[in-house]
Chains A and B, each alone.
Chain A
């Protein structure tokens, strides 16, 4: 009967399609030893090697991507990409966060002006947008005004921290920009903020062509670029990849690679497979086990870098007996920090106990606490709770930075605290629910993370000490106006020597009096194909792809 023939035909067709579609993959796949030039499967063999040799394929979990508009991005992937398509006035180079370098601004001055600071930027006369037009002071003022007007996630970095207002931004002439901020705000903080994606300069004329209603062009800028950086945005295929190509009109030294593909691979095992096969050049999200396995592979280099994150336990001082400083100190002496870092994170983090992470100005190597059961018990006795107490600890679900799950860290703390008589009940919720409780000041112990919003010690010390900022000190009900005033003074101190002395004292006070047990500072680990050179991770979460070659 005819129907059966139709069947056979369809089956045959399917098999033929499958066979034909994978046939070219086999001959085109070279042995792994040939290195990163491996053409991807199912790719016309002739086209791939040339393209692959000048392309960097960077695999990461891009599911956080919501926009590439510098006035909107505040997510890891978005910031990483935006900083490669938009230049900023000033920048930090490589992984150095202590020395500001010129970028669009050749030089700049800070001067007192009544009760304001006046910061004057002089633009580089060579600076050009990808369109070929010069970068002008009007573009700078337009870019910062967009951030304030759109008022999206990163806007507080300009509006709240340095208290920048639209009326205090002036294009003095074609190449001179003046910003004024109140003298209670820190010009240093403003400069560090301007290195970040929120300080990215967009081309006014281009953006204005694409304004829809009151969106200030952000619908268009979501997946188009109008910057002056070494790369321009070629396309964004949602949940698949973002493709950057070299900016043909770039005003600085030409980038070494002509194309950067930020590829969305969420599963770490798939990242490992793709790295081993040479389909990708960089794997961003490898587990400690995978790193161990890959470190024996001659085609792969393991690159470890720093973050500015801190993983800590917050202690609500309105919850008895956490109101007693001795109890908080006892908890700090009860925890086995080294065991968490060595046994659970296996090289993915280091012990860090103060509120300024390594890599920021003012950080010190001051880690006095280690597991000491006797000392902790003595402190509890001193506080009047010699037999310990019961308490609840909120923890998020999923993996913690550094390479293990939050639940494993929590279990380690639970058993450490049990040894001194403190019975911890672990309550695991989604991070969103946890933050709800934490923000409402209703937590008891809370295991969570913090990363500074801008690379200045004030990005940590303010939130950790100043109740009125309504961030971390607030969430733990720790109101210490005297300390907050000292933190503000340190933020404004212009003399670096004095400033670091002020921070050292602050750190010491918070270390013993504060409501925190800071556990560790996680690192990041990358798997790279051997031929990838010049990749440097900036702890603020960016990579200058223009310096990468292969």
Chain B
């Protein structure tokens, strides 16, 4: 049971927690938070492999994690503003009620 296995198992656990949240919660904002959590779990994976893998001086893992954080922030911003626009139109964020494409 090397340290790498520990970090990867933790990352898989966080990913499945985020997946469970994204699949089972009713509010749209919590689904978005679940997606953010999945992205974070993947980041942990990258950093763990950067630390314990060959060629750490190429900084690939760190770079990927930085860009992933940037992209995740952009996606959270756009996603939350879409949720706001949908709320303004249909007065609800309940995903079970948002099941028709008619305006």
- Asked if A and B are interacting partners, one says no
